Structure 1
Amino acid sequence: MMADVPEEKVPDLGLEIFDYAPVGVSVTRGLDHRLVYTNPVHDTIVGKRPLGEPLARAYEGLVGALRYNVLYDQVLETGEPIYVAEAPVFGEFANGNQEHFFSFSLSPVEFADGERGVLFVGIDVTEQVTASRRIRTLSEERRRALQRFESLVKAGSQIVWVASPQGRAIEPSPNWEKITGQTWEEFRGEGWLNALHPEDRKPTMESWRRALKEVQPLWQHTYRLRLADGSYRHFLARAVPVREGDVVVEWVGTCSDVEQQWQEERRAALLDRAAGATSGMTRLEEILQALCHVIVPELADGCAVYLLPDSPTRPRNAPLAVERIAAATRDELPQIHVPCQEWFAPFSGFVQAVRRRRPVHATFPTGEPPPGIASPDVESWLADASINSIVLLPLVVDGDVAAVVTAAVSGDRKPISTSDVALMDEMLDHAHAPLSSALELRRAQRVALALQNSLLAEPPEIPGMQITARYRPSPEAAEVGGDWYDSFVLPSGIPIVTIGDVAGHDLPAAVTMSQLRNMLRGLVVDRQEPPGEVLRRLNIAMGTLCPDQMATCILARLEGGPDRGWRMIYSVAGHPPPLLVHHDGRARYLLGGHNALLGVLPDTPRTSAVERLEPGCTVLFYT
């Protein structure tokens, strides 16, 4: 604070008393305000100024200083002191700055000769003024930033929210209220959790509490948010802590609608899963079952696949018989059993999907499917499982409808949408190559199996002997192959029993098997020779007719009868040895007559062996 200096007479040589003053001091005299004194503090601030010169000339170069001349005139005229605060002065100062601010007082003085003058006492307040201006500027910028933030919150599509250090909502969020329909009272604290999908509340809260505990620099979590219309969309929540020093004072977060991005990511993930699930599979049932487990539970709660018969023409008004060969359901729902034969009425939704080659999509009240959408058995399942929507999707492979995929959603889950149907269709389309190969393999299997079964004749009835055959194709071995057995009676009444296996488990192996079986029959009937010799001749024939094939075989002649007893003359070509089981349960392998397999060592002599068969014994031939 500047103290006013009362008017008094100042001796001409008494001004030195101000040399040690901690403020700037200058003195002028006369009506033209000639500068007669400046102290060191004054000179440090504004530089050394020429004495004896009027103010205008003495302070030349300091813009603003000159306009204060009128104040000097006023002091001399009125005799009253004047105080000025934070007066700006522009120009070159001793410290190089362009602008300084001074607070000063002007007081009248009288010299010893009676001439009057003015005493200037001032301090440089530039730093204080600059700091005050900076504070005001920052305050104004903060006010404007806050206004912009509030405007963005009101006008933007994102939800912005503020939470306490404990994670509870502490400020209203206009966009949250607009999007979810929740009021501030419903939203505050942890009430916002009630707007999340019930399945997402627990994992969201666990993730949020972990972020609060660890003070994560950025929290991110995706959940389903219930909109004001009751539907759900995926939102990405993000939040960061606001700190004062090392203390978190609040959390600020946003919620963004990411439904489209989530759908695209889910689509890519499901297509990858479907491709991975069917990779390396060859059996149709396995491929379709794998696709069912991709659809459930991601897209539906229940899924079944119905295989259509290989019929080139289907009468328009005839019911359609299909085989359910794959199915999957969510754990809580009734199971769909496979395999199962089903019939569909000519004008049912199922047949319409097959005929039109387009999906049939239906949404209905929970547990009340429309009549004709499915078979009676499936309609009962739809009611029991509280289904609310279903789609029947024809599976077109190589231009033909090979199967129909049905998918259903139950309970409070959102009904199947058109985008879900499109995604299922895309999944099936991506699986076209393995499905095509599997269908082709299945057709080949059926042809080969039919061929194989046609060659597996019923054993003859022999007095005093019972011949029994069992044949079960192995699913792991593609169901068909070169395994065969045969039993017949020669014109002489001698029973013949044979078993064999051609290398391979496909249609070519089955064809080779039929050729070897028929050749062996002809050789046995034509040549009344020991089994080893007959197999030698068969081996020679194979070198010409099947040069790249190999096979194993047992050929046995059963001579004698119930009265005289039976003896078995046999030869083994690389096949597992027969097993003899006596009537008392003792058992042993018959290791005689063993030779190389067929297809190698042509024209090499082959041996035979003889084994007497006791009453009540059993001989087992097997592959």
Structure 2
Amino acid sequence: MSAQSGGRARDAEQFAASQHRLGSWLAGLEAGAYAVDADGAIVAVNGEAEALLGRSAEDLLGRDAHDLLHRDGNGMTIPRSRCPMMEAFVARRTRQEELAYFERGDGTLLSMSWLVSPLRLGADEVGALVVFHEHESAARHLRGPALSMELLPELERLALLAETTTQLTSTLDVDEALDRLVRLVVPLLADWAIIDLISDNDEVWRTVVAHEENGRLVRREDLEGAMPPVPPASPQPLSRALRGGGSTLATPETYQGPPDSGIAVEQRRLFEGTGMHSAVIAPIRGLREVLGALTLGRSDRPDPFTGTDIPLLEDITRRAGLALDNARLYQRQRKVSETMQRHLLPQMPRVPGLEMAARYLPAPHASQVGGDWYDAFRLPDQALALVIGDVVGHDLDAAADMAQLRNILRAYAWSQQEPPSVVVSHVDEALSHISEVEMATMILGRLETDADGQWMLRWTNAGHPPPLLVAYDGQSRYLDDGHGILLGSHVSMPREDATVVLPPLSTLVLYTDGLIESPGRSLDDGLERLRRNAAALAHRPLEAFTDLLMERARPDDNDDDVALLVVRVPSEDGPDL
């Protein structure tokens, strides 16, 4: 069940969590660093920057970085149009300066060297990362000697590590994370990137073998695939890395001797197939286990890797390991959630003459489960119970509440041969005593044939969007009768039943509000969109009708889960229930 206030709360929580993660990343940098959003306001800062600037995080966060900090050598504010950092920020380019000035909290100037680089803060927002070191002294600069060139690679290294963290932790898809990792290191650090991953059942899979050709990454799928098991004692570099050993340099000669394992054979094949003359191999470690290994290789550039390259590679694999660990954990949770949702949502019963179809689509940013549900089951008198409902929320708690409510409703509907309004009233009274459900909406209907063989629906509506009835000729209308207050309101009000005859070959559409609600338009607009699309699809086979209706009616900016239950009655000479 969506609500504007709930959306704002979720946005605030997501922003706070994102800001916390960004602050944690900056804390790992060995230099002053702060991040700004797309408007140039500071959104995160590390302790080193606070010390260098003589300003607390509270004084920095939310302030315009240019107005607060950027100064010329005389302490005057630099016009934005002449500020090289602002130029790079607006152009979304990486740029560095050997000597510039920030204003400290006490009004004095900090002479420093800086690097600015674009920083993706979210799916649609790009800010910037600023990394800076204190210059040795302004006086030394005025005498003429330039800044040590050793500092520039350090700034570039810090910027690369920050970008690695940002890129890898902003996705929970393993394949996407691996692709981003390869693009970060090729061709900047290496001509080739090879990623070997260990699966949950301890099998090794050569997941990526990639290099750059004419400005684009090309995969060597012939060199990818299943790998032999990790030998328990092999001293060879990849075998050691996959066991969690230290990082190692390797050359073709490393694997030219008699192979000590199947992995050594595959490594010889790799060097021959790629033409690499130098490689460095590092383990990818998660929080609890070794996840795999990253190999960087050089074939085109002549300079080989050296031991001084290992610390940077290990910094990259450390960040990659944390990102992959999170992505794998998310995928495991998602698989569990999908399995849970499949078991919570029922299979449609077979009813002679009736066609039924149902769909469930989870909220895009939730746990693949939620509080929306549908149900259909036979009652003791052979009538068919139809249910559509929505428990507040779209997460695991909502799914658990939904399961409780569904089971309570089934028990009452089966044991009491009462009209839908009476059954729902009993359910509402019981919720606060035997469940954790706080608030929910629901429609309960009884579908059966009368003495004349006509299909009749008797229903009650507890605060839910109204059912939609679509005739075979495309005429459509909402069934607004039988409407009552939602469940969990603790207000004692009588509920009503409504009855309608379903024309031959008509289609009944029960749905949850995720199919019609959108932040960008009114509820009436959503209802009209659903009605028009359903009418246009009236002649379609039911499965196609259901899929196309979900596709066309669901808002693009929907952030809620959706349940859809569709029933089509037979022609006049069809079987009775």
Mapped pair 1:586 → 2:469 = no
Describe how 1:402-551 pairs up with structure 2 within 5 A: 402=291, 404-405=293-294, 407=296, 409=298, 411-412=300-301, 414=303, 418-430=307-319, 438-547=327-436, 549-551=438-440
Gaps of 5+ in 1: 1-252
- More deviation, 582-591/456-465: 582-591
- Matched position secondary structure for 1:470: strand
Residue 609 of structure 1 is matched in structure 2 by: 498
Q: Deviations over 1:35-75 (max 9, x none)?
A: xxxxxxxxxxxxxxxxxxxxxxxxxxxxxxxxxxxxxxxxx
Amino acid at match of 2:431: M
Contact (CA 8 Å) 1:494, 1:557: kept in 2 or not?
A: yes
The TM-score normalised by the length of structure 2 is 0.51
Go from structure 1 to structure 2 and tell me whether the alpha carbon gap of 1:275 and 1:456 turns closer, same or farther (over 3 Å shift): same
Deviation at 1:463, TM superposition (A): 0.3
CA distance in 2 between partners of 1:499 and 1:343 (Å): 46
- Matched position secondary structure for 1:294: helix
Of 145, 162, 167, which residue of structure 2 is paired with 1:272?
162
CA distance in 2 between partners of 1:410 and 1:597 (Å): 68
Contact (CA 8 Å) 1:334, 1:381: kept in 2 or not?
A: no
Of 280, 294, 297, which residue of structure 1 is paired with 2:184?
294
CA distance in 2 between partners of 1:372 and 1:620 (Å): 59
CA distance in 2 between partners of 1:508 and 1:374 (Å): 49
Q: How many residues align?
A: 360
Gaps of 5+ in 2: 1-143, 232-236, 512-561, 563-577
Contact (CA 8 Å) 1:573, 1:596: kept in 2 or not?
A: yes
Q: Deviations over 1:190-217 (max 9, x none)?
A: xxxxxxxxxxxxxxxxxxxxxxxxxxxx
CA distance in 1 between partners of 2:458 and 2:446 (Å): 5
CA distance in 1 between partners of 2:461 and 2:208 (Å): 41
Q: Deviations over 1:333-377 (max 9, x none)?
A: 454499xx9533325997764344555764449xx9x9966999x
Q: Deviations over 1:547-588 (max 9, x none)?
A: 564333332221117971212222333433333222123333
Deviation at 1:403, TM superposition (A): 5.3
CA distance in 1 between partners of 2:429 and 2:279 (Å): 63
Go from structure 1 to structure 2 and tell me whether the alpha carbon gap of 1:268 and 1:568 turns closer, same or farther (over 3 Å shift): same
Identical pairs, percent: 34
Contact (CA 8 Å) 2:405, 2:435: kept in 1 or not?
A: no
Contact (CA 8 Å) 1:327, 1:337: kept in 2 or not?
A: yes
Go from structure 1 to structure 2 and tell me whether the alpha carbon gap of 1:467 and 1:415 turns closer, same or farther (over 3 Å shift): farther
Deviation at 1:419, TM superposition (A): 4.4
Of 553, 557, 562, which residue of structure 1 is paired with 2:442?
553
CA distance in 2 between partners of 1:593 and 1:325 (Å): 59
CA distance in 1 between partners of 2:215 and 2:425 (Å): 64
Deviation at 1:523, TM superposition (A): 1.9
Q: Deviations over 1:149-173 (max 9, x none)?
A: xxxxxxxxxxxxxxxxxxxxxxxxx
Describe how 1:182-581 pairs up with structure 2 within 5 A: 258=149, 260-278=150-168, 290-301=180-191, 303=193, 308-311=198-201, 314=202, 319-320=203-204, 332-333=215-216, 335-336=218-219, 342-347=225-230, 353-356=241-244, 362-364=250-252, 393-402=282-291, 404-405=293-294, 407=296, 409=298, 411-412=300-301, 414=303, 418-430=307-319, 438-547=327-436, 549-560=438-449, 564-581=453-470
Go from structure 1 to structure 2 and tell me whether the alpha carbon gap of 1:309 and 1:279 turns closer, same or farther (over 3 Å shift): closer
Contact (CA 8 Å) 1:464, 1:561: kept in 2 or not?
A: no
Residue 17 of structure 1 is matched in structure 2 by: none
Larger RCO (alpha carbons 8 Å, 6+ apart): 2
CA distance in 1 between partners of 2:264 and 2:362 (Å): 33
Contact (CA 8 Å) 2:191, 2:301: kept in 1 or not?
A: no
- Matched position secondary structure for 1:469: strand
Contact (CA 8 Å) 2:210, 2:217: kept in 1 or not?
A: no
Residue 117 of structure 2 is matched in structure 1 by: none
CA distance in 2 between partners of 1:372 and 1:401 (Å): 20
Deviation at 1:400, TM superposition (A): 1.9
Deviation at 1:453, TM superposition (A): 1.2
CA distance in 2 between partners of 1:526 and 1:277 (Å): 56
- Matched position secondary structure for 2:349: coil
Go from structure 1 to structure 2 and tell me whether the alpha carbon gap of 1:460 and 1:267 turns closer, same or farther (over 3 Å shift): same
CA distance in 2 between partners of 1:536 and 1:326 (Å): 62
Go from structure 1 to structure 2 and tell me whether the alpha carbon gap of 1:304 and 1:582 turns closer, same or farther (over 3 Å shift): farther
Deviation at 1:464, TM superposition (A): 0.7
Describe how 1:78-227 pairs up with structure 2 within 5 A: none
CA distance in 2 between partners of 1:607 and 1:465 (Å): 26
Go from structure 1 to structure 2 and tell me whether the alpha carbon gap of 1:337 and 1:592 turns closer, same or farther (over 3 Å shift): farther
Contact (CA 8 Å) 1:464, 1:562: kept in 2 or not?
A: no
Q: Deviations over 1:275-322 (max 9, x none)?
A: 3335666666665555444334433456576765445xx4xxxx5469
Q: How large is the Cα RMSD of the aligned pairs? A: 4.7
- Matched position secondary structure for 1:346: coil
Go from structure 1 to structure 2 and tell me whether the alpha carbon gap of 1:271 and 1:356 turns closer, same or farther (over 3 Å shift): closer
Go from structure 1 to structure 2 and tell me whether the alpha carbon gap of 1:300 and 1:497 turns closer, same or farther (over 3 Å shift): farther
Contact (CA 8 Å) 2:291, 2:321: kept in 1 or not?
A: no
Contact (CA 8 Å) 2:211, 2:217: kept in 1 or not?
A: no
Go from structure 1 to structure 2 and tell me whether the alpha carbon gap of 1:335 and 1:584 turns closer, same or farther (over 3 Å shift): farther
Amino acid at match of 1:398: L
Go from structure 1 to structure 2 and tell me whether the alpha carbon gap of 1:395 and 1:517 turns closer, same or farther (over 3 Å shift): farther
- Matched position secondary structure for 1:468: strand
Deviation at 1:450, TM superposition (A): 1.5
Go from structure 1 to structure 2 and tell me whether the alpha carbon gap of 1:320 and 1:402 turns closer, same or farther (over 3 Å shift): closer
- Matched position secondary structure for 2:490: coil
Contact (CA 8 Å) 1:536, 1:604: kept in 2 or not?
A: no
Deviation at 1:459, TM superposition (A): 0.8
Amino acid at match of 2:242: V
